[in-house]
A and B are shown apart, each in its own frame.
Chain A
């Protein structure tokens, strides 16, 4: 059965590119959410195999979304991969302590982003 992934990013262009890459090259099903609130709502609505989460978002940033995902028993077990343009060493050190499955820095290679996700989650690739 095909994997289902939720992509939460306020940048529509990036959301489109990520979803298209994962669908076309990974063969997975994707859905996008344009804000943190929308992402949380969608995350609770159905079981997801993984969530790709942007950090810099208006209203509710990626950290707040991650906290709420981890606080909710329904979504706690869903692996979260951070998709972020914050790539300073201090940022990366901070991310690894947050209990996420991994971090994919922007910009990424659209042909390989699915493989990066698969490697981080231990899926066949």
Chain B
């Protein structure tokens, strides 16, 4: 199903508005009705309550007044026999109580006085003439002054009035007060009035019954009272008794029949005058009264009941309430109000709501149509432009601008797209033109076939090969429309080397149109100049559904290639040979490269961007490698660097890759309890790969540390004598010892001895440095061992004598290849040490022994010292073993090797006490090593030491 954009925009909008307005209207009506019900109920309750209270008061007044008269008579305040007094008193009482219609007194003596008010400005006074027994009536003003005689009613007996139901007898019988409806003649015998009178007996001070008192209310005046109670002129209220007789009504209707038959007038029975409310002339009263009585019967709780009813086409609210003044009346008050009085505003509100909804609906429809139009108009313009573009029209109609941001953005985007498309179409046209030119220029024939095999395009080369160039006035291009089944015949296509036309179903074009990609070279075309071998390639062109749309055919003359192939066969053997040579060369190159890598003392790794090794070289060949376990351990160590080092490695790799510069990383760590100190050089190789060269620099670090230590020791050793020199000379120079010549001389000697110590130290350092740096060129020559021993002995004779040490020599007839001065220096140093550490009377032996492999190697004299045997150090060539033995203090085992290092005396105080520099043995070792010899010592603490060194024998 399809919708127009206009419908889609307007219809939902319209449905939404209609739905919403209907809902709002309905809810508004419901809400108003509920509000009316609530309001009506409240108003009814208030009205009924007010009427009830007023009636209570209204009917209480006669009771109160009559009871007051009764009390006053019983107490003797009023003389019940004084008619004139009562006359005046009743007039004043009526003036004081405007609600009271009349007052009456009747005595046992049949005296009778009644004062009534039938009009607001006059009174009617009636009394019984005791002489005539007639009742006389006259009209008086409000102060009781007689105005006119009215009528005389003969044979009036108050004790039996009315004859049918005489109230006097009832009072006398009951001896208590009660209400009773009574007919009044206050307006004359032709205009009787129904009234409610409250009767009380007159009892004197002795309790004797003396007559009857009453106060009365004219029921038409009660109706007036009800009308006044109405808060406004809306609805009606009426009072009925338990049987439904109308007592009073606010509708101005007389609650009793105004005229009756003469018999009724004669009997004066009030019941004859009365009628049921459902017989009322007022239709509302007539309908409401029986409903009220019905509701009253359902009443279960004190208070009234509200109900509704329909009358005269409209709804009414009514409330029925029981009324009983002093529990002596069984009446019912009914208040009726039309619902229309409350519904006026609701109906007006509904009307307004409907009008507003209709207005909103109309406005919404208009707005929706306008909006749809506003939105769709530019879109339609886009549609028109699209259609023009699709139709390939040269001019695309302009699109319509819109003030809607999104539509405008769409339009601008569309315009941009159209501009680009137009440009693209033009470029496409240009490209197509260029392509045609290009295709015509290529040296390969190209043809494009449709599904029927007909040629859609054939470039110039193709035309040349297929002999379609126009030469004789015929249009050779007619052949282009040849279908697949005629192609071989039309274009004279043969199977190569035969006269058989190429089978149609095997033609490359036909197979290409079947979806195959074909390459073959067994096809020949017959032209005027002969058969031309062709190489053909065909590919299918598929549409979006995978169906073949075209086949593109490329073919070329391979006559020259065929010729070349024949020649090529001759060269193949040579080619194979050359390839073999190249392969061998490449293999050699690879081997060379591998050898170069293996020759490097470093580990090499290819790492990725994260610094993780991709490949590791030299894992098995680098220095320190050995077993497979070590290689595995090394691999694990390289691929599981400690976290901080690995992170730094990653950072360096990424920096190297980003900057294309070499990065260095030095780090230390412990792996499997072994300390490693390494330097990694990271070289970027590709965008994501770097080469890492890892070198063990532990030794370099060790050398640096030893160098630092050496500098510190040298510094200390130099500063110590310098301090003594500087101090002693400074004190002398200050002159403080001017008066103490011995002390001054001591200071001078101190400076002198420390200067000599300093000179020795400097000489030794320089000697050692020269030796170790190779600056001293040892000119070796054949030397007689004995000569060397003698020279050395002679140089220490003096100090041996001074130290009281005896020297022994064991010469040897042998030649060594050595630098005599250096060897003498070694021997002199060893002898000097032996003498220095010998006690006076001690002996020192200087020996030389030939070792040629057959004789026993010098045995350790002190094997119990536990020193490792020197057997392992035996030279491979014959040598002379020199030894210097003393009886000195000996050397602790842990110092036996260290003493040959710089400044490693057995005791640091030796340099001071024995005059040594701590470098003598280091110099000896350096010289012996330069002569390819070995030097070592064996010693026992407390017994002495033997220093050995070897020199290679010079063969004669």
Taking Cβ atoms with an 8 Å cutoff, the residues of A that contact B are: 10-11, 13-14, 16-18, 20-21, 24-25, 56-58, 85-88, 91, 105-111
Contacts and interface: CB of A to CB of B under 8 A. Distances in A.
Interface string B700-741: 000000000001100110011011111110110010100000
B712 A108 contact: no
Contacts of B909: 10, 58
13 contacts: A10-B912, A11-B720, A13-B727, A13-B728, A14-B723, A17-B731, A17-B750, A20-B731, A21-B727, A88-B711, A108-B727, A110-B726, A110-B734
B720 A109 contact: no
Contacts of A56: 716, 908
A13 B750 contact: yes
B754 interface: yes
B730 A106 contact: no
Contacts of B711: 88
B730 A13 contact: no
A25 B720 CA distance: 22
Contact of A14 (B715, B720, B907): B720
Contacts of B734: 24-25, 110-111
Contacts of B730: 21, 109-111
A111 to B, nearest CB: 6
Contacts of A13: 724, 727-728, 750, 753-754
B238 to A, nearest CB: 119
Interface of B: 711-712, 715-716, 719-720, 722-728, 730-731, 734, 736, 747, 750, 753-754, 907-909, 912
Given A110-B731, A111-B734, A17 B723 contact: yes
B726 A85 contact: no
A52 to B, nearest CB: 13
A86 B714 CA distance: 10
B338 to A, nearest CB: 111
Contact of B723 (A24, A58, A85, A111): A85
Closest 9 CB pairs of A and B: A17-B727, A85-B719, A13-B724, A110-B730, A107-B723, A106-B723, A107-B726, A85-B716, A110-B727
Given A13-B754, A111-B730, A87 B724 contact: no
Nearest to A34: B909
A42 to B, nearest CB: 19
Contacts of A16: 750
Given A56-B908, A109-B726, A110-B731, A85 B736 contact: no
Contacts of B736: 24-25
A106 B712 CA distance: 13
Nearest to B716: A85
Q: Is the interface of B mostly helix, strand, loop or mixed?
A: helix
A10 B908 CA distance: 10
Contacts of A86: 712, 715-716
Given A106-B720, A107-B719, A14 B731 contact: no
Contacts of A14: 720, 723-724, 727
B908 A85 contact: no
A14 B731 CA distance: 12
A92 to B, nearest CB: 12
A108 B725 CA distance: 10
Given A14-B724, A24-B734, A109-B726, 15 more contacts: A11-B912, A13-B750, A17-B728, A21-B730, A24-B731, A57-B908, A58-B907, A85-B720, A91-B712, A106-B719, A106-B722, A107-B722, A110-B726, A111-B731, A111-B734
A11 B750 CA distance: 11
A21 B720 contact: no
A10 B907 CA distance: 12
Given A17-B728, A110-B731, A87 B723 contact: no
Nearest to A109: B730
B723 A88 contact: no
A85 B731 contact: no
Nearest to A23: B736
B397 to A, nearest CB: 88
A104 to B, nearest CB: 10
Greatest chain B CB density within 10 A among A85, A86, A88, A105 is at A85
Nearest to B907: A58
A121 to B, nearest CB: 20
A85 B727 CA distance: 14
Contacts of B750: 13, 16-17
Nearest to A110: B730
B754 A88 contact: no
A67 B329 CA distance: 126
Nearest to A55: B716
Contacts of B715: 85-88
Contacts of A105: 719
A85 B911 CA distance: 16
A103 B912 CA distance: 24
A11 B908 contact: no
Nearest to B721: A13
A107 B716 contact: no
A25 B753 CA distance: 25
B724 A11 contact: yes
Nearest to A18: B727
Greatest chain B CB density within 10 A among A14, A17, A87, A105 is at A17
A24 B728 CA distance: 13
Contacts of A21: 727, 730-731
A108 B750 CA distance: 16
Contacts of A11: 720, 723-724, 912
Contacts of A25: 734, 736
B739 to A, nearest CB: 12
A107 B727 contact: yes
Contacts of A17: 723-724, 727-728, 731, 747, 750
Contacts of A10: 909, 912
A16 B720 CA distance: 13
Contacts of B912: 10-11
A80 B909 CA distance: 23
Contact of B712 (A58, A88, A107, A109): A88
A108 B726 contact: yes
A21 B736 CA distance: 10
A73 to B, nearest CB: 31
B201 to A, nearest CB: 131
Contacts of A111: 730-731, 734
B722 to A, nearest CB: 5
Contacts of B753: 13
A59 to B, nearest CB: 9
A55 B722 CA distance: 16
B135 to A, nearest CB: 145
Nearest to B746: A16
A57 B908 CA distance: 7
B736 to A, nearest CB: 5
Nearest to B733: A111
Nearest to B730: A110
A111 B726 CA distance: 10
